[in-house]
Amino acid sequence: MLSLQNIEKIYRTDTIETLALQNINLEVAKGEFLSIMGPSGCGKSTLLNIMGLLDAPTGGAVSFENEALTGFSDKKLSQFRNQKIGFIFQSYHLINDLPVLDNVELPLLYRNVSGSERRRLAQEALEKVGLSNRMKHYPSQLSGGQKQRVAIARAIVGRPHLILADEPTGNLDSAMGNEIMEILEQLNRDDQTTIVMVTHDENMAKRTHRLVRLFDGSLVSSNSFYNA
Amino acid sequence: MLSHILKLIWKKKKSNFLMMLEIFVSFLILFAVWSLSVYTYRNYANPTGLSVDRVWTVYLNFNTENDTLRQQYRELVSRHLKSVPEVEHYSFTSSNMPFGFSSSNGEFSYEGKAVLSEVMFVGDDYPAVMGMSFGPGRWFQPNDTIGGIVPIVITQCLATALFGNEEPVGKIIKEEESTKKVVGVAPYFRHKSSYQSVGNCAFQPLSKWDTDLLLKVSASATADFEARLARSIEQLGKDWTVEVQHMDDMRDTQDNTIEIPILILFVICAFLVFNVGLGMFGVLFQNISRRKGEIGLRRAIGATERQIQFYFIGETVVIAGFGLVLGVFFAVQLPLLRVFDVAAGVYLWGIALALVSVLLISVLCAFYPSMQAARIYPAEALHEE
């Protein structure tokens, strides 16, 4: 589904050049639940950003469902992100001034979807994460785990093919983290949604199909199956 | 998207209130300035009904209080002027000549209706001097004064005020104790400044104490001729003094009394609007830097750069819209309540132009910060949060 070939990412300033990723070759299969681990600053988030088309690699090629994504316009990339990718962030990134339901509807605002259809899809997504009773609440009225569930609902409302989760349990205690992990597992299992998750938690990583490890911008191990 | 923007604005109503207030005040100021400008321009665009080109005003002082002597001196000056080829037309006039600083009003009444009007006492050749045009009727002649009824020419505005749609020529009207007969109508005669509204004015034959003089001179009349003419008139009598002014200069002086306050008002308004614009610009910049995470999120979930830019411009326009709705509510009271006796069209134009101006300022102020927002790198913005 997602293929990274010889990915290289260099951050340049006037005086310094930082190699964030080098020679990354990675294939993510359809329906796979992949976790990425590595120490802080090893390039995990950079890699996730490149996978999510939020950042462009300095070198190499990204293809998604056999379509090479090089030279795409901003409009095309945005459309691609909107329709095919869902994002989950460690700090949730909910808009505090909007109720839960509106937060979940957000990706559909950038599609030609009617208001009533947006509402219906958002309600469905919230039901899936067990938050249908919190639709009118504001994020400030929710616990961390509930916020992350809202973020998951927002990620799945557009029925993406791929979910990219950047430390989704990083801000949560183990019980809440476990709840979130169960939802992700369920999405992967029931809907065949491909998930790539960056985590610092070995236990969470063990629950995914495959773990790849990054160190100093390079893949040091991959294809280590825990739960194939 | 609009309901989405409205929800966010409503939730942040406290922080948006100040911007709405700024917009509201700016609208009212711009409405006042635009209404005044439209009113002034409309007046300016009206025909003046007179021509000041090569018209000179001659202030004559015969150095006598004796009215009989003054009339004789007037005759003397008339005879002299007829011998001067550069003087094409001339007419004596009361001191309230066009673009002067004097004014003389009379109250005319007709069938119980009383209307106040400027009254000018002028000679037979006055229309030729002033290049006046006529509607119905004609200018008065020396033999028009019969049985104590004085012939007068009135402006269309005065005719409408007195007679409505009735034919004005031949109507007998009263001015205090005297009786007048309308012999002609001048469609326009805007004599106070180029920006004067169409007003009431009546012309009647000279009285014995009117000694100021208006000349229409030929194109060959030079400054040297002006000096010679003044000297030659002064020499007609003992201790006479003559002062000549060009009527186009007099008009310019009067116009300046209108133009300069308007210009000052424009400068003050521009300064205020500039400050409001700067304020909006600053608020938007601050707003965007506070909402980097939200911008990053919107980009991640599929908003294009252009959509982000339009979103922030749209948000500013909607906030401005609230201030404008309030402003328009107050502004429309003026035509509804007929304040200042100004045509409703002037206020409506004022409202429209102020609306366009404020929206334009809002979009301009929002444009650059919104462009900056659109250029925020999503990966960085999400990381900053």
How high is the ipTM of this complex? Answer: 0.89
Mutate to test the interface with B, among A47, A92, A109 (most CBs of B within 10 A): A109
Residue B218 is predicted with a pLDDT of 94
Q: Does residue B384 carry a pLDDT above 70?
A: no
Cβ of A91 within 8 Å of Cβ of B385? The answer is yes
Q: Out of B4-8, B258-262, B371-375, which region has the weakest mean confidence (pLDDT)?
A: B4-8
How do residues A10-67 score in pLDDT, each as one tens digit? 988 888 888 889 988 988 989 999 999 988 888 888 899 999 988 889 999 999 888 8
Residue B279 is predicted with a pLDDT of 87
How do residues B318-338 score in pLDDT, each as one tens digit? 989 999 999 999 999 998 888
**Closest Cβ opposite residue B300 in set A79, A81, A102:** A81
How do residues A81-122 score in pLDDT, each as one tens digit? 999 999 998 888 999 889 999 999 999 999 888 889 999 999
Angle at which helices B247-290 and B305-331 pack, to 10 degrees? 130
Residue A1 is predicted with a pLDDT of 84
B339 touching chain A per CB within 8 A: no
Q: Does residue B200 carry a pLDDT above 70?
A: yes
Mean pLDDT over all residues of chain B?
90
Cβ of A79 within 8 Å of Cβ of B302? The answer is yes
Would you say A94 and B298 are in contact if contact means Cβ atoms under 8 Å apart?
no
Q: Does residue B316 carry a pLDDT above 60?
A: yes
How do residues A68-85 score in pLDDT, each as one tens digit? 887 788 888 898 899 999
**Closest Cβ opposite residue B302 in set A45, A81, A95:** A81
Instruction: Report the distance separating Cα A219 and Cα A8, nearest Å.
Output: 12
Within 8 A of B13 by CB-CB distance, chain A residues are none
Instruction: Report the distance separating Cα B130 and Cα B214, nearest Å.
Output: 9
Residue A65 is predicted with a pLDDT of 86
Which residues, 6 or more positions from A89, have their beta carbon under 8 angstroms from its beta carbon?
A151, A166, A167, A168, B297, B382
How do residues B256-285 score in pLDDT, each as one tens digit? 999 999 999 999 999 988 998 888 888 888
The model's confidence at residue A228, banded by pLDDT at 50, 70 and 90, is very low
Instruction: Report the distance separating Cα B312 and Cα B334, nearest Å.
Output: 34
How do residues B123-167 score in pLDDT, each as one tens digit? 989 999 999 988 788 999 888 877 788 999 999 999 999 999 999
A83 touching chain B per CB within 8 A: yes
How do residues A134-160 score in pLDDT, each as one tens digit? 889 999 999 888 998 899 999 989 889
By C-alpha distance, the chain A residue nearest B1 is: A109
- Average of per-residue pLDDT across A196-217: 89
Report which secondary-structure segment, H or E, holds B276.
helix B247-290
Would you say A194 and A30 are in contact if contact means Cβ atoms under 8 Å apart?
yes
Distance from CA of A35 to the nearest CA of B (A): 20
Instruction: Report the distance separating Cα A149 and Cα B269, nearest Å.
Output: 52
**Domain definitions of chain B by residue range:** 2-45+254-384, 63-239
Within 8 A of B293 by CB-CB distance, chain A residues are 91, 93
Distance from CA of B304 to the nearest CA of A (A): 6
Encode A6-45: b = buried (16+ Cβ within 10 Å), e = exposed.
Answer: ebebeeeeeeeeeebbbebebebeeebbbbbbbeeebbbb
Instruction: Report the distance separating Cα B250 and Cα B192, nearest Å.
Output: 10
Q: Does residue B31 carry a pLDDT above 80?
A: yes
Six token digits for residue A18:
């930082």
